[in-house]
Homo-oligomer: A and B are copies of this chain.
Amino acid sequence: MNRVKTIADLARLAAVSKSTVSRALSDSPLIGRETKERIRALAAAHDFRLNIPARRLSLRRSNTIGFVSPACYEDSPVADPFTLEILGSVSNALHSRGYDLLMAHINPRDREWPKEYLISGRVDGFIVLTSSRKERDIAPLVEAEAPFIMWGVPSPRSRYCTVTGDNARGGRLATERLVATGRRRIAFLGGPAAELEVQGRQAGYEETLREAGLPVDPALIVYGDYSFASGAQLTPTLLRQAPDLDAIFAASDPMAMAAINCLRELGRRVPQDVAVIGYDNLSMAAQSSPPLTTVSQNLRLAGRLLAENLLQYLETGVVTHVCVPVELVERESA
């Protein structure tokens, strides 16, 4: 028995036309239930799969989304655990909508990459995760008029879709918890100062301090880049500038863990001497020792919204900006 490779083969077996097979497989209402079932059974029996490149050519649509992240930068890939966690939920959401997920390979010095993927029909749009170098990665997309959605706070007058966390509220929740447990010298171990999400969290942090009658002390505020490395580097700085600090609100879980590590090395106990709160609730947070109290962004939902709102944009052209809710996950570090 020779393999059934094309709808023509299947049509011959079923003694119908290619059109009918095509319609039966795509569940067209034009085809009678009985015919449809017969053809589908035949297809299943022969392990038949539609040829997808042919389908894409015919439909002039790739049903593929490009994932843009520093993990696939050409020169210096950045391995950020956040990327990987959100990648999983994006993949799930796209899969259930019948879309493939392509890792876009980016040369940050080149502005042609969106065209390379888009004009060539390899991708219908992009999901962009680019924590620290937003402008640089976004510009070529805007220039190429590429359909895309970004994780992060939109810049004013942006015409692209975004999904973001509620940063001001995240900053509030963390700071309120620290204030409520009696901390008075609370440090802000931030991400890049230029980022709107960092500013949002800082605003939440400062408001909460003021409401509690605590001063906002610049010596307690530093900016890093979300990485473990920057947490390890900045914690000693913080301790030097403010030896009496009794809490740290970090911009990411890796930063929080780096901070805990440094604090212990320098003889401070966590949470007794210094309470620490992270951000994102990555899988590592629950397993850290002590288990990390952290602000959860519901990355599962975030991934789904990134996928669904981009697909919706492709269909309708409607630009959406959504904000996923944020909650404090209380564990032992604060």
Contact = CB atoms under 8 A, between A and B. Distances in A.
A81 B119 CA distance: 33
A243 interface: no
A141 to B, nearest CB: 15
A84 B78 CA distance: 9
Contacts of A95: 74, 105
A88 B72 contact: yes
Question: Which 4 pairs across A and B sit closest by C-beta, in order of nearness?
Answer: A77-B88, A229-B287, A53-B56, A95-B105
Contacts of A330: none
A115 interface: yes
30 contacts: A47-B115, A48-B119, A49-B115, A51-B57, A52-B120, A52-B121, A53-B57, A53-B62, A53-B121, A64-B102, A71-B91, A73-B88, A77-B92, A78-B283, A79-B81, A79-B88, A79-B282, A79-B283, A84-B84, A87-B103, A91-B103, A95-B105, A102-B102, A228-B287, A228-B288, A229-B287, A232-B288, A257-B261, A261-B288, A262-B289
Nearest to A262: B289
A120 to B, nearest CB: 4
Contacts of A50: 120
Nearest to A92: B74
Contacts of A227: 283, 287
Interface residues of A, number: 64
B100 A71 contact: no
B79 A100 contact: no
